[in-house]
């Protein structure tokens, strides 16, 4: 009995001590909050944000808006501002616009379609929707300095889509000692039909800047009535460039998400291959991709994916693709979203198997040649795919297959679209930050060893952002306490409420400190863009 009384008194003492520590933490964090509030800044513009990119070496932020470009410091102070529109234009007219020849020209907004850093040349490539999607090159250190802009080169200079509702993606990379621009864009009603192309960034061999690298360095549709594309992402890995896009086929009606790959140094697109990229649950396929992100996974996720594929290969260089999808229930119109994770190695292996099957005329029913009716596959020998890893003129090219890769969702949400994703790897954990169509940010942690802990949390409610696409930049730093969910207080990482009073004291003391910091994060994040970080003793990682 006496032991029980002593235990109760001891526990009461520890709780009282914890409350004192909690009170001191409140005062301490209140002061921290006041000082940090002064550090936090935000930036808002009068027009819609189309693209955002950051120079990781300098921290300078570049914003592509409707009718404007902005250059900001890492603290969101304005360095420079350039007006890019509106200007008199008409989608049917060829620039330069002559009002005598183009009487339909009216003041038209300029949507930013591409905003790409070329750090090797210390320039930034900017493309807009005006004037058939032509581009300019500006100085990286001062965007008001325009280094190249020509609006009279004709069709060869039409790079981006001139339709504000049709997406464009781009990538600047090295190719044969040159710098080139890979572009993917949908084929709008007043477009030139070029869907994917490689563009020059220098005047060379009689070709102008932004002209196609070679005459055949493109995927061009002879007509746009059979299908329409909305590009989601472009990225490079080793010798390949990849495009992810949604394709709506009209006869028969069918929505597909595809991943396309080509060798970077393939000037004729002999290596081009596309196939389905599927995310599917028990209720069927998610048929529309909204965002994708490629990264090297944390140890836990890499090991989990290796176990699923029953391989013991080293995965240190095996990247993963995280993609956000949605689907609409045809019966009741309800919206459902999901995140699927793909192994880039698995994608490449599937593409190579498909190429080999086509070159050996095996299982050919799933193959097609772009914008052609005939089956392209034929017997070219057992080793054709290995002997010609980037294709060849004598092999079928501009190939596609409906036999792609399919993964099950690792996260599902109802009633909203998941629209943006970025990833951080911390202490072997893969943490994903997701943007939603209703203006929220979700933070997720994939823990394959503890499936019950796979969870998500609303970190911050932002105002609803309107527009076809928003690129968001998150900066994630190492911390040490875990937020458990919407209606839960945060807990110290690696701790839970224990029966021992000593652990209870440690838990309550750390819990108070982490709760205050997390509350500060949730209530003091500015509306548009934010800078700053919480205490190094606290984490908001799930």
pLDDT in tens, 334-380: 889 999 999 999 999 999 999 999 988 887 788 888 877 778 888 77
Residue 239 lies in a domain: yes
With cut-offs at 50, 70 and 90, classify the pLDDT of residue 262: very high
Which pLDDT belongs to residue 20? 55
- Find where tokens 């060829």 sit: 94
CA-derived radius of gyration, the chain: 27
Residues 35, 76, single domain; the answer is no
**Residues near 336 by beta carbon (within 8 Å), at least 6 away in sequence:** 283, 286, 326, 327, 328, 329, 412, 413, 414
Is residue 423 included in any domain, yes or no? Answer: no
- Does some domain include residue 438? no
Among 39-48, 233-242, 428-437, top mean pLDDT goes to: 233-242
Same domain, 69 and 29: no
Tokens standing for 24? 């001191």
Domain holding 283, by residue range, is 56-346+392-407
Mark whether 309 and 203 lie in a shared domain. Answer: yes
Shared domain for 161 and 265, answered yes or no, is yes
State which of 357, 375, 407 marks the end of a domain: 407
Tokens of 371: 């914008």
Do 316 and 167 belong together in one domain?
yes
| Same domain assignment for residues 531 and 403 | no
8 A C-beta contact, residue 412 and residue 336: yes
Residues 60 and 208 in one domain: yes
Q: Is residue 180 part of a domain?
A: yes
Q: Which residue(s) pair with 260 in the sheet?
A: 243, 274
Percent of the chain residues past pLDDT 90, beyond the cut: 36
Q: When comparing pLDDT for 188 and 395, which is higher?
A: 395
Structural tokens at position 506? 């440690």
In this prediction, residue 178 carries a pLDDT of 85
Overall number of domains in the chain: 2
Residue 523: closest CA among 26, 36, 24, 22: 36
Range in 15-29, 130-144, 197-211, 481-495 with the lowest mean pLDDT: 481-495
Residue 277 has, within 13 A of its CA and on its CB side, a CA count of 34
CATH code for position 70: 2.130.10.10
170's tokens: 């781009």
Beta-carbon contacts of 177 under 8 Å, excluding residues fewer than 6 positions away, are none
Does 40 have pLDDT greater than 90? no
Task: With respect to residue 260, please indicate whether it lies within any of the assigned structural domains.
Answer: yes
Residue 430 structure tokens: 């893969």
Digit-coded pLDDT (tens) for 301-322: 767 666 666 555 545 568 899 9
Q: Is residue 141 domain-shared with residue 278, that is, in the same domain?
A: yes
The pair phi, psi for residue 383, each rounded to 5°, is -105, 15
Residue 277 lies in a domain: yes
Dihedral (CA of 12, 16, 22, 26) sign: positive
Which residues does residue 401 pair with via DSSP β-bridges, in sequence order? 275, 367
Same domain for 10 and 64, yes or no, is no
Give the residue among 404, 388, 399, 537 at the shortest CA–CA distance from 477: 537
Is residue 4 domain-shared with residue 74, that is, in the same domain? no
Pick from 407, 438, 457: which residue ends a domain?
407
Which of 360, 377, 407 is the last residue before a domain boundary? 407
**Are 31 and 60 within one domain?**
no
- Whether 5 is in a domain gets the answer yes
- Asked whether the whole model's pTM tops 0.85, one would answer no
Do 33 and 179 reside in the same domain of the chain? no
| In-domain check, residue 445 | no
């Amino acid at each position: 009995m006496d032991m029980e009384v002593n235990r109760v008194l001891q526990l009461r003492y520890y709780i009282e001590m914890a409350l004192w520590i909690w009170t001191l933490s409140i005062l301490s964090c209140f002061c921290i909050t006041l000082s940090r509030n002064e550090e936090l800044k935000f930036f808002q513009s009068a027009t819609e944000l189309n693209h955002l990119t950051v120079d990781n070496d300098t921290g300078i932020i570049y914003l592509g808006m409707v009718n404007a470009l902005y250059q900001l410091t890492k603290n969101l102070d304005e360095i420079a501002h350039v007006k890019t529109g509106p200007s008199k234009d008409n989608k049917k007219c060829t620039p330069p616009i002559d009002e005598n020849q183009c009487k339909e020209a009216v003041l038209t907004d300029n949507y930013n379609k591409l905003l790409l850093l070329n750090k090797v040349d210390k320039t930034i490539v900017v493309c807009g929707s005006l004037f058939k999607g032509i581009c300019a090159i500006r100085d990286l250190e001062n965007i008001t300095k325009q280094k190249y802009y020509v609006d009279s080169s004709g069709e060869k200079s039409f790079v981006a889509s001139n339709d504000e509702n049709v997406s464009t993606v781009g990538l600047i990379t090295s190719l044969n000692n040159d710098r080139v621009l890979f572009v993917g864009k949908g084929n709008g009603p007043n477009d030139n039909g070029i869907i994917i192309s490689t563009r020059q960034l220098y005047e060379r061999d009689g070709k102008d800047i932004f002209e196609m690298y070679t005459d055949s360095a493109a995927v061009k549709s002879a007509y746009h009535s059979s299908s329409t594309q909305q590009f989601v992402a472009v990225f490079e890995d080793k010798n390949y460039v990849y495009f992810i896009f949604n394709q709506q086929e009209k006869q028969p009606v069918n929505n597909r998400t595809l991943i396309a790959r080509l060798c970077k140094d393939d000037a004729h697109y002999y290596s081009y291959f596309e196939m389905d990229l599927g995310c599917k649950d028990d209720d069927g396929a998610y048929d529309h991709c909204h965002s994708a992100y490629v990264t090297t996974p944390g140890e836990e996720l890499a090991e989990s994916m290796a176990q699923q594929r029953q391989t013991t290969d080293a995965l240190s260089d095996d990247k993963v693709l995280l993609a956000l999808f949605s689907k609409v229930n045809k019966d009741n119109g309800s919206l459902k979203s999901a995140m699927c994770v793909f192994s880039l190695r698995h994608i490449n292996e599937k593409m190579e198997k498909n190429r080999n099957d086509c070159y050996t005329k095996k299982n050919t029913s799933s193959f097609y040649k772009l914008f052609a009716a005939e089956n392209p596959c034929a017997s070219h020998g057992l080793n054709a795919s290995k002997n010609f890893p980037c294709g060849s003129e004598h092999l079928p090219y501009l190939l596609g297959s409906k036999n792609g890769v399919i993964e099950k969702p690792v996260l599902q949400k109802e009633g909203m679209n998941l629209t943006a994703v970025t990833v951080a790897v911390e202490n072997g954990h893969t943490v994903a930050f997701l943007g939603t169509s209703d203006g929220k940010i979700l933070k997720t942690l994939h823990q394959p060893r503890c499936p019950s802990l796979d969870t998500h949390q609303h970190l911050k409610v932002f105002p609803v952002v309107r527009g076809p696409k928003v690129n968001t930049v998150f900066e994630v730093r190492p911390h040490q306490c875990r937020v458990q969910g919407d209606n839960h207080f945060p807990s110290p990482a690696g701790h839970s409420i224990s029966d021992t009073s000593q652990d209870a004291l440690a838990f309550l003391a750390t819990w108070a400190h982490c709760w205050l910091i997390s509350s500060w994060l949730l209530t003091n994040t500015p509306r548009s863009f934010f800078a700053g970080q919480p205490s190094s003793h606290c984490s908001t990682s799930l």
